[in-house]
Chains A and B, each alone.
Chain A
Amino acid sequence: MTTAADAPALPALPLGDDALVLSHRLGEWAGHAPVLEEEVALANIALDLLGQARILLSLAGDEDELAYLREERAFQNLQLVEQPNGDFAHTIARQLYFSTYQSLLYGQLATGEGELAPLAAKAVKEVAYHQDHAEQWTLRLGDGTPESHARAQRGLDALWRFTGEMFQPVAGVDVDWEAMRASWTSSVTAVVERATLTVPSGPQTGAWAAGAGRQGLHTESFGRMLAEMQHLHRSHPGASW
């Protein structure tokens, strides 16, 4: 079985997997959003991420082979992005954590010379919009009603243990990871506090070592997500669509 450890250390692959998997999760919201404007917004973000995933996976190989024919242990995405949607506050907390990370990461990559610089330069504009969307909703939910406040806090708390892995260095991605952690923490803290919420204080890693997702070690719901995503493609080997 191919695992992440056997795969070549291409930086495009883990970053492409992040975008692919989160895009899929956001796609699950279609037809279920709390208000029509959010049907549009969540689908828009999902589409941006899918666009990024397609470019990144194409840098690493064939986008469809990589998306549809790898097994769970060969995916290198962060565990954060594979977490089930939960309620709207849970989804927004995941978006806040991830879009802040992606914004800092692409911001740095865009100014570099690597092969990811052109993609990062394009994506950084999309990600700024995703981050703004997540921040605005964090504020509305945190500083909205007692119920939305409680739900927003639960979302932030539940996902906190998946945030540490974002700052584990990705092979081939030349950024200052510790500086990124500091910027991420101050950015998230500012929004969370403005939203009258509390920055979680627990550990930023779960039972696995931080960076587990990058090594192909995932959480249990991920396998079912892939089963759904891949079944049709796998049922028709070699077909084109």
Chain B
Amino acid sequence: MATAAAHQAAGTEPDEAGSPAARSAEQEAAAAHQAVFDAAVAADERIEPRDWMPDAYRASLVRQIAQHAHSEIIGMQPEANWITRAPSLRRKAILMAKVQDEAGHGLYLYSAAETLGTGRDELLDKLHSGRQKYSSIFNYPTLTWADVGAIGWLVDGAAITNQVPLCRCSYGPYARAMVRVCKEESFHQRQGYESLLALSRGTQAQHDMAQDAVDRWWWPSLMMFGPPDDESSHSEQSMTWKIKRHSNDELRQRFVDICVPQAESLGLTLPDPDLVWNESRGHHDFGPIDWTEFWDVLKGNGPCNEQRITQRKRAHDEGAWVRDAAAAYAAKHGKATA
């Protein structure tokens, strides 16, 4: 697609591409496009779907946006696990609205990915066959009601820390999707915090439930920022392209610094004996992350990897006849349906 666009902009026909003269014209055109692209990125301008972009930039965005979309829809599962057991009607309504928002975020993000020349069906197929990933955090189980609050506070908090800089990402459709997603995520995050606060200030059993959830979700949340900077294969290129604005370790540090005072006001502790304010750095020092666990979960060996993907595939497979019916009806009646 990028090549076709390059030909078009350079005024050459693709079927001339075989001759040496055409090849050199093509190279010149590509170099000119690359220069325009580099200048736009350097000037903090937005790249739009019809603009020329390097193939690797396109591929990198598809990978990142698809993984982000997949995370939204797989992320529905651990929370939906508690919809039928939510302890009050108010909490049940909040949780249902949140899970519904996540499906909506998945839809925005698949649309953003589609502007890069891929299709939702293709992306879902890659998710189902394990060729594309989703956030490792959703491979942990929700064992108590407090996990729903901890996910809101920590997991959504980490997601927001990651995503706010993406609102300024160089690719326009992704940046605009992030603006909408971040508004809704911030709302969920506050609700999660408020839910944990209610538990922390509730009965002893509720307080213990909240502490246990924070103990289990803290480290996996820190892992959401990805591997340390020296082991992050995509980081450098993504930062040059301004897809990414900050390194994994920078964002992780920012998140820790935000969480420490919040944990104090919640009346809960964070499960890290090495967590201490470092006056000289102006940041909190924190203990080592268990990267063996991280890579293990990423490779598919986390507590819920199998279950999450099986449920997703089952929903898709069992829904095939419904999608076929909608398509057959649309074909008969000549209008687009679901």
Given A35-B323, A145-B328, A236-B203: A231 in contact with B85 (beta carbons within 8 A): yes
B86 to chain A: which residues have CB within 8 Å?
A: 232
Per-residue CB proximity of A70-106 to B under 8 Å, as 1/0? 0000000000000000011000000000000000000
A37 touches B (CB below 8 Å): yes
Task: Name the contact of A241 in the complex, choosing from B91, B311, B318, B320 (C-beta under 8 A).
Answer: B91
Query: Are A35 and B322 touching (Cβ within 8 A)?
Result: yes
For A50, give its contact among B93, B99, B104 (CB under 8 Å): B93
Which chain A positions have C-beta within 8 A of B191? none
CB of B77 within 8 A of CB of A31, answer: yes
Is B338 within 8 A of A35, CB to CB? yes
Where chain A touches its partner, the secondary structure class is helix
CA gap between A27 and B85 in the complex, in Å: 10
Report the bound CA distance from A228 to B89 in whole Å: 14
Give the distance to chain B from A147, nearest Cβ to Cβ, in Å.
5
Cα–Cα distance between A151 and B326 once the two chains are bound (Å): 14
A54 to B91, CA, bound (A): 12
Q: Verify A30–B80 contact, CB threshold 8 A.
A: yes
B34 interface residue (CB < 8 Å to A): no
- Give the chain B neighbours of A231 by CB distance below 8 A: 85
* Contact, CB under 8 Å: B337 / A151: no
Chain A residue at minimal CB-CB distance from B332? A143
Q: B321 to A33, Cβ gap below 8 A?
A: no
| Chain B binder among A134-142, A179-187, A207-215 | A134-142
Q: Which residue of B lies closest to A237 (CB)?
A: B203
In the complex, whether B43 has a CB less than 8 A from a CB of chain A is no
B145: interface (CB < 8 Å): yes
**A140 and B318 in contact (CB under 8 A), knowing A30-B96, A40-B107?**
no
In the complex, the answer to whether A67 meets B77 with C-beta atoms within 8 Å is no
A82-B114 Cα distance, complex, nearest whole Å: 40
Most buried by A among B87, B99, B198: B87
Which residue of the partner chain A has the closest CB to B144? A232
Closest to A229 in B: B84
8 closest A-B pairs by CB: A34-B319, A144-B325, A148-B325, A43-B100, A39-B103, A30-B80, A34-B322, A140-B329
Can you list 15 A-B pairs, Cβ within 8 angstroms, ordered by A?
A20-B89, A27-B96, A30-B80, A30-B99, A31-B76, A31-B80, A32-B315, A35-B338, A39-B103, A47-B97, A64-B88, A88-B319, A139-B329, A145-B321, A147-B324
Residues of A within 8 A of B (CB): 20, 24, 27-28, 30-40, 43-44, 46-47, 50-51, 53-54, 57, 63-64, 67-68, 87-88, 136, 139-141, 143-145, 147-148, 151, 228-229, 231-233, 236, 238-241
